[in-house]
Amino acid sequence: MNLFNEKYRWYKGNIHAHTNVSDGLLSPADVVSVYKNEGYDFIALTDHRQASAGKEYPDFLVLSGIEMHVNDYISRRAFHIVGIGFEGEIKYREDLSPQELIDTVIQHNGLAILAHPSWSLLTHDDALSLKYYHGIEVFNSVSDTKSNRGNSSEFIDTVASKGLIKLIFAVDDTHYYTDELFGGYIMVNSPSLNKNDILLNIKKGNFYATQSPLIKQIIVEGDEIFVETSPVVRISFMSDDFYNNKRVVKSKSNFLTSASYKFSERDNWVRIECMDHKGKKAWSQYIIINK
């Protein structure tokens, strides 16, 4: 079974970016131009506490967006909730709990995403205690370049091993438009750039997160999984098993463009992580193993 529809196109997007409506350096129009000129197909403008409306251009899509947060400086944890693709108008309120922020996005038919959990110093129990949100950021470029806490891959695997399996996103979280720019994005497998098609295929998990490497196809046949990629140096099949010496495939002399993995009897899920020669990574969604 092919996980991606080969009749669909791939659309590149960043769903976490800030403008001068909050604490970003550029205007919304300039942000759209920056990403469009770089070859992106869509973006969400997610200013702090201020919702932005979506807009469809002939060759570019802007999704509605907002970032809402609860910063607890006593317990040292920050709950940042990104909402995208919602309908109507979201009005931020200071008195809402993290769960209520998620509920607000859901009530407006949007996608609620837990942002940069490692940067936020969230515990696994923090993530497990929240309900109904759609995804978690596995990589956040501004958290990586400015705080060195941008990668949350171990965090998402730990909570997934406890049953909390969410969609995986890589984002810029652009503020400064310098070294964090174009650091993380998603590639959506969709029949069109229409807003409904893009959002539907994000919700279905028909996308992968990346810093640069491409995941071209994932095939599941029986007890084996195959992946086709752009040239990389390592392909890892991460699972909720503790040890499996066949989980990492790498080459010392040549680039890899494919790899396969046989599920162990202890695996409940597998996700694929690829790394290129520059250390840039790509992450598949979690693939549930039907036993």
Which is higher by pLDDT, 254 or 60?
A: 60
Q: What angle do CA 29, 24, 181 make, to 5 degrees?
A: 85
Note the pLDDT tens digit of each residue in 220-249.
999 999 999 999 999 999 999 998 899 999
Contacts of 36 (CB under 8 A, 6+ apart): 59, 60
pLDDT for the residue numbered 252: 76
- Is the Cβ–Cβ distance between 136 and 152 less than 8 Å? yes
Third-level CATH fold of 9-210: TIM Barrel (3.20.20)
pLDDT band at 109; cut points 50, 70, 90: very high
- Is the Cβ–Cβ distance between 164 and 127 less than 8 Å? yes
Mean pLDDT of 45-61: 97
Note the pLDDT tens digit of each residue in 177-232.
999 999 999 999 999 999 999 999 999 999 999 999 999 999 999 999 999 999 99
- For residue 119, pLDDT over 80 is answered with yes
- For residue 290, pLDDT over 90 is answered with no
**pTM of the entire predicted model:** 0.97
Mean pLDDT of 89-111: 97
Locate CATH 3.20.20.140 in the chain: 9-210
- pLDDT mean across residues, the chain: 97
- Rounded CA gap, 2 and 245, in Å? 26
Residue type (1 letter), 264: S
Quick one: tokens of 229? Answer: 């990629």
Third-level CATH fold of 215-288: Immunoglobulin-like (2.60.40)
Locate CATH 2.60.40 in the chain: 215-288
Tokens 């993290």 correspond to what residue? 98
- Rounded CA gap, 130 and 125, in Å? 9
Note the pLDDT tens digit of each residue in 123-136.
999 999 999 999 99
pLDDT for the residue numbered 212: 98
